[in-house]
């Protein structure tokens, strides 16, 4: 394999504490090595005057699978004016808030993202998720199967059977080729099977006689008993409702007393996703306000939690979530077209288009809350930038969010352009925050932090020898004066991107489809005949497919990267 040396760039690498020093990064056989380990034949990439970081890691986006594709198919309008014809090294690619799989891979790569996690995989549809992942070029991907409304989980946890829950998680991760334990609106989505919901963590789930509180704590316990690379990844109850921050704090507190147990260097036991949607005060849309401070005060002092922001980008987008009742609520608010799928024994999903207008007060406040969370974060290794793509906006807006976070001037300009800026300022903290994130902090929030939270810090998110050669060069000179727009421009189209040692982007253009991998977790547990019997029984009686036709075969995961865990005892 080829050797490379990326010379003279300003390097930002939190894993080694490098904060913009000039350094060379050497690559051999797809890995980063010491500069002395490459021969004189190594190809030189001149990065002088430019910023060098590891490839970024997306911890939460909806980019592959049934609801994403329903979004594409039911929104032809999303493709308008977006298409790029094919080139020698790329397929034709289009779509804005729900791009085609090809465009998804290309756009992430162009921004310097080399790994992405699909945030909600309905296990029964896992094969579909993997078909799309297979057709998404360049980036490594994994997918989180949803567990928070799964009948096996509800029944085992009702009886406090942690060991059985572990055995089932292990079985389902392997059957669905999944990466982590995702929880969406615990209990509430099962209640949605009857048109109901669970809006606090103590609302009982109809029939199953269990509460969201018990589901979340049970799953944390099981996750740590298994020692999975990622923690439980939760989308909490009461998403999107005024006043929901108390439910958020209640849920976050469930992590108290738990300690991370794993061999991957992960320290959190709970990842709370798209926190923006869960940090709302007020009791109606009229007195809706930011509670980012209350939420981040708690997150800042609670070391066993990581979060991502879910920043609103002020675009027309397509919301989609396994939180079925929320999407029904949303369509009643905005009267835009509603799609829903309830999935037997497992979950549900809903989709509604949404326009985050800079002329609507609530949207302006949502915009502020997302940024406030990141700006109030004391430890950037525990707070990650996301848009909950495409829910708060498309991932292609990351460069713009980075601009807002790095420049108080850019935020001020945006605030002044809002229609209700005075009212918005009153309901939020954003105008009083002058913090500007550094490139180092951005590298923590988009690289080292998410990689560590996912239990992948040994291979992603940094530039230390031995790590995967996922490297990005941005045409941005941190030592020269710049305008806010220069930040957005540089992060939108990287000067150079390498994925596991293969150049994939040069001057913002795709030059190769790389050698993408699918990550999944194989967790070995003791033999558990009872759980195997329960699985057989549920397939015979309640599923509409046979057990033999449920497993995702290796044919759908042609280039797997399996993370193994031994939880036998």
Partner 1 sequence: MSKSVTDVICPFCGTLCDDLEVIVSDDGKKIEDIYNACAIGAEKFMHAQAPERVKRPRMQQPDGSYKEVSYDEAVEYTARMLFNAKKPLMYGWSSTSCEAQSVGHEIAEKVGAIVDNTATVCHGTTLIAVQDVGIPSCTLGEIKNRADRIIFWGCNPCHAHPRHQSRYSVFPRGFFTNKGHMNRKVIVVDPRVTDTAKLADYHYQVEQGRDYELLSAFRVALRNEPLPETVAGIPREKIIEGAEVMKSGRFGIIFFGMGVTQSLSKNHNIDNAIMLTKDLNEFTKFSIMAMRGHYNVTGSGQVLGWQFGYPFSVDLSRGFARYNPGETSSNDLLRRGEVDAVFVLGSDPGAHFPISSVKKIAELPSVCVDPHITPTSEISKLHVPVAFVGVEVGGNCYRMDNVPIEARKVVDPPEGVLTDVEFLTRVNARLDQLMGGK
Residues that bind Zn ion (CB under 5 A): 119, 388
Q: Structure tokens of 79?
A: 């493709």
How many Å is the maximal CA-CA distance in the chain? Answer: 69
Residues in CB range of 426: below 8 A, 6 or more apart = none
Smallest distance from partner 1 to CB 546, Å: 5
**Which residues does residue 560 pair with via DSSP β-bridges, in sequence order?**
518
* Contact yes or no for 307/373 (Cβ under 8 A): yes
Per-residue buried b or exposed e for 422-461, using 16+ beta carbons within 10 Å of the residue's own CB: eebbebbbbbebeebbbbbbbbbbbbbbbbbbbbbbbbbb
- Cα-based distances in Å from 274 to 248, 387, 472: 11, 7, 26
- Sign (positive/negative) of CA torsion 402, 421, 318, 382? positive
Q: Is 78 in the site for partner 1 (CB under 8 A)?
A: yes
Instruction: Name the residue among 488, 357, 485 with its Cα closest to residue 418.
Output: 357
How far apart CA 48 and CA 461 sit, in angstroms, is 21
Q: Which residues within the stretch 485-544 sit at the binding site for partner 1 (CB under 8 A)?
A: 541-544
Instruction: Name the residue among 464, 368, 554 with its Cα closest to residue 23.
Output: 464
Q: Is 102 in the site for partner 1 (CB under 8 A)?
A: yes
Q: Which of 35, 48, 73, 559 binds partner 1 (CB under 8 A)?
A: 73
Q: Which of 343, 368, 557, 563 binds partner 1 (CB under 8 A)?
A: 343
Q: Structure tokens of 137?
A: 């070029």
Q: Which part of the chain contacts partner 1 (CB under 8 A), choosing from 128-136, 162-170, 313-321, 469-477? A: 128-136
Smallest distance from Zn ion to CB 184, Å: 8
**Which one of partner 1, Zn ion, none is in contact with 388 (Cβ closer than 5 to 8 A by kind)?**
Zn ion
CA angle 201, 207, 210 (to 5 degrees): 30
**Which one of partner 1, Zn ion, none is in contact with 328 (Cβ closer than 5 to 8 A by kind)?**
partner 1
Segment holding 412, helix H or strand E: helix 408-417
Q: Which is nearer to partner 1, 101 or 279 (CB)?
A: 101
Q: Which of 39, 40, 284, 553 binds partner 1 (CB under 8 A)?
A: 553
Q: Which of 86, 303, 533, 536 binds partner 1 (CB under 8 A)?
A: 86
* Contact yes or no for 394/353 (Cβ under 8 A): no
Q: Which is nearer to partner 1, 351 or 448 (CB)?
A: 351
Q: Is 337 in the site for partner 1 (CB under 8 A)?
A: yes
Q: Is 95 in the site for partner 1 (CB under 8 A)?
A: yes
**Which residues does residue 183 pair with via DSSP β-bridges, in sequence order?**
234
Separation of CA 434 from chain center: 27
Q: Which residues within the stretch 141-200 sit at the binding site for partner 1 (CB under 8 A)?
A: 151, 193-195
Whats the size of the chain, residue-wise?
569
Q: Which of 69, 309, 318, 396 binds partner 1 (CB under 8 A)?
A: 69
Q: Which is nearer to partner 1, 341 or 408 (CB)?
A: 341
Q: Which is nearer to partner 1, 75 or 291 (CB)?
A: 75
* Contact yes or no for 271/59 (Cβ under 8 A): yes
Q: Which of 50, 128, 182, 429 binds partner 1 (CB under 8 A)?
A: 128
**Which one of partner 1, Zn ion, none is in contact with 194 (Cβ closer than 5 to 8 A by kind)?**
partner 1
Q: Which is nearer to Zn ion, 26 or 119 (CB)?
A: 119
By CB under 8 A, name the binding residues for partner 1. 64, 66, 68-70, 72-76, 78-79, 83-86, 91-92, 94-95, 98, 100-102, 124-125, 127-128, 131-132, 135, 151, 193-195, 207, 328, 331, 336-345, 348, 351-352, 541-546, 548-549, 553, 555-556
């Amino acid at each position: 394999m080829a050797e490379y040396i990326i010379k003279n760039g300003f390097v930002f690498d939190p894993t080694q504490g490098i904060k913009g020093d000039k350094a060379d990064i050497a690559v051999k056989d797809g890995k980063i090595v010491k500069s002395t380990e490459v021969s004189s034949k190594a190809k030189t990439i001149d990065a002088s005057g430019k910023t060098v970081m590891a490839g970024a890691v997306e911890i939460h986006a909806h980019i592959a699978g049934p609801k994403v594709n329903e979004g594409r198919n039911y929104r032809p309008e999303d493709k308008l004016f977006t298409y790029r014809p094919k080139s020698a090294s790329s397929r034709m690619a289009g779509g804005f808030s729900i791009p085609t799989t090809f465009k998804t891979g290309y756009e992430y790569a162009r921004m310097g993202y080399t790994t992405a996690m699909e945030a909600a995989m309905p296990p029964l549809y896992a094969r579909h998720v993997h078909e799309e992942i297979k057709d998404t070029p360049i980036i490594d991907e994994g997918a989180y199967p949803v567990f928070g409304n799964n009948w096996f989980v509800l029944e085992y946890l009702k009886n406090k059977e942690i060991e059985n829950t572990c055995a089932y998680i292990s079985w389902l991760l392997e059957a669905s080729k999944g990466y982590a334990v995702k929880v969406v609106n615990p209990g509430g989505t099962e209640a949605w099977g009857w048109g109901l919901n669970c809006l606090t963590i103590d609302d009982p789930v109809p029939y199953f006689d269990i509460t969201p509180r018990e589901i979340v704590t049970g799953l944390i316990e099981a996750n740590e008993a298994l020692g999975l690379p990622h923690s439980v990844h939760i989308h909490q109850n009461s998403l999107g409702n005024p006043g929901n921050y108390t439910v958020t704090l209640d849920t976050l507190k469930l992590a108290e007393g738990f300690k991370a147990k794993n061999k991957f260097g992960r320290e959190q036991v709970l990842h709370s996703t798209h926190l923006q949607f869960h940090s709302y005060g007020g009791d109606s849309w009229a007195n809706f306000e930011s509670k980012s401070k209350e939420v981040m005060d708690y997150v800042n002092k609670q070391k066993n939690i990581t979060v991502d922001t879910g920043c609103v980008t002020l675009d027309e987008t397509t919301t989609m979530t396994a939180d079925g009742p929320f999407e029904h609520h949303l369509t009643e608010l905005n009267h835009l077209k509603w799609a829903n799928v309830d999935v037997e024994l497992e979950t549900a999903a809903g989709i509604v288009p949404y326009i985050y207008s800079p002329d609507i007060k609530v949207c302006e406040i949502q915009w502020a809350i997302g940024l406030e969370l990141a700006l109030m974060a004391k430890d950037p290794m525990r707070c990650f930038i996301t848009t909950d793509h495409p829910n708060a906006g498309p991932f292609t807006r990351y460069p713009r969010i980075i601009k807002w976070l790095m420049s108080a001037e850019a935020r001020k300009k945006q605030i002044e352009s809002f229609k209700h800026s005075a009212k918005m300022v009153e309901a939020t903290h954003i105008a009083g925050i002058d913090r500007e994130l550094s490139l180092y902090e951005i590298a923590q929030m988009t690289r080292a932090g998410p990689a560590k939270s996912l239990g992948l810090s040994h291979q992603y998110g940094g530039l230390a020898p031995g790590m995967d050669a996922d490297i990005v060069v941005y045409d941005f000179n941190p030592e020269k004066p710049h305008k806010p727009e220069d930040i957005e421009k540089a992060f939108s189209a990287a000067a150079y991107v390498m994925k596991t040692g293969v150049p994939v982007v040069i001057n913002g253009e795709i030059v190769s489809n790389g050698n993408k991998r699918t990550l999944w977790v194989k967790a070995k547990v003791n033999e558990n005949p009872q759980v195997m019997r329960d699985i057989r029984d549920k397939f015979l009686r309640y599923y509409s497919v046979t057990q033999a036709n449920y497993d995702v075969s290796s044919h759908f995961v042609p280039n797997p990267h399996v993370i193994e865990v031994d939880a036998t005892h």
